[in-house]
Structure 1
């Protein structure tokens, strides 16, 4: 014969939580937000949970496992909201989570394939640079692409990738770029904005930029850029938050450039703008 078992009429919070597959802390939270009515306390001052309490707690756990929010659970129990509305919104949330999970998996796959932080940038950028050797891009190149993607979006960064392709495949242009970077950085050491070096550097930087554009065209990279513009539909799912306005970038991205260096950049921009307007 089996021993007779008499089920308890009420249980303590620890037993209630264990049976439902949750924790006492979670049960207390359900009480606090009004999702689970707080039962009466026994003579020892502790809560006692009866059959109805356990049924409610089990339904809460089932809804939570389905992804239903606590607010929607509360509405469902009180019939304050149409259950179809709750389920419709839940389906939208789950679909968004699934899409985000797919994007994250794609990013991990790109990281594995590329083997460098380049894989964290958008697929447009990664694809454009995928044919380069792993050590062809410098960390500073990736930093620049990262900022460009934030300001101008994946398409802007993919177009800028042409510059780094040329620098990676033209040692003479890379060497001149390094010399210019060093000379411009030297302007931050207290140089006068009207120092003759400022204008000289602006002219050299303009010449370098012109040489880069010519190399880009000679390599047919400009044609690849045009194809990007033609195929880009402006709807890169999951990458909308990579972009911000240029105004926001200017006001939020810190650069510790000296007045001399800023003037050099402005003069270079004027030279480039003048050349482009003359071409058109």
Structure 2
């Protein structure tokens, strides 16, 4: 005896989700935001979905696969917006996603070529260390570049990179840097900011900064900085909504004592005066 198969007139939410390739939770969300009307319920109080409901659910899934947002789908069904407006927004969103993917792929290439963590810095910073042997840049220098890049952008890190390169290629300057770092670290919370040692170390730090700057100029690294600045000025600017350097400094914790902070301030003041010819 031949038995014919008769499709159900209505199905439960689990069957509807399985057929459409989605989840019951997603369908409930469509109901909550008004994207799908509430279907009638059976005697057991559960939702039942008919042919028209399934057609709408399938179109929702197709639009989601294309990348159309739920809000745009709802507007399309409510006739509150044209499909052209929706497609324009979709095109902009996809272009933004494509740009993100391109940046991520470029970062992955830098990581492969430069290694981690150097390759995690901006390309313009990473490229400055291309000619240095592996391991020439200390982790502490990379940490400092990371903070500088966050506070002052990639060009700020580009300038600092010149100092890092000089320290990596001039053993005598690296040794002087290490001595000063150790002496400044000794300015702990027991040292008064007005202690004479603070003034002496600030003077030494200023002289060291001048020596590093001379080495930068002798190596022509300052010319590289100028070229990079020119390229940056010619490049289109994007507002990424980043915080200002002052805001960032106020949010970045520091374990420096008042005496060490004062030493840094004095050294910066003296170095600034020397650059302006007032010292």
Taking structure 1 as the reference length, what is the TM-score of the superposition?
Answer: 0.94
Contact 2:107–2:119 at 8 Å: present in 1 too? yes
- Matching of residues 110-129 of structure 1 within 5 Å: 110-129=110-129
For 1:203 and 1:2, how far apart are their aligned partners in 2? 103
Matched, 1:164 2:161: no
Deviations 1:200-248 (A, max 9, x none): 101110111011011111111111111112222374788946x542211
CA RMSD of aligned residues (A): 1.9
Partner in structure 1 of residue 272 of structure 2 = 273
CA spacing shift, 1:164–1:148, aligned 2, 3 Å: same
Count of paired positions = 279
Verify: 1:253 aligned to 2:259, yes or no: no
2:150 and 2:99 map into 1 onto residues whose CA distance is: 21
Flag structure 1 segments of 5+ consecutive residues without an equivalent: none
Consecutive unaligned residues of structure 2, counting only runs of 5 or more, are: none
* Residue equivalent to 2:226: 226
Give the superposition deviation at 1:86: 0.9
Contact 1:39 1:49 in 2 (8 A): yes
Q: Distance in 2 between matches of 1:44 and 1:274?
A: 84
In structure 1, the residue corresponding to 2:49 is in which secondary structure?
Answer: coil
Q: Distance in 1 between matches of 2:236 and 2:17?
A: 44
Contact 2:151 2:249 in 1 (8 A): no
In structure 1, distance between residues paired with 2:70 and 2:244: 36
Give 1:257 deviation, angstroms. 2.0
Partner of 1:100: 100
TM-score (norm 2): 0.95
Q: Specify the alignment match of 2:10 in structure 1.
A: 10
In the TM superposition, residue 256 of structure 1 has moved relative to its aligned partner by: 2.4
The 1:240–1:234 alpha-carbon spacing in structure 2 relative to 1, beyond 3 Å, is farther
Matches within 5 A, 1:14-93: 14-93=14-93
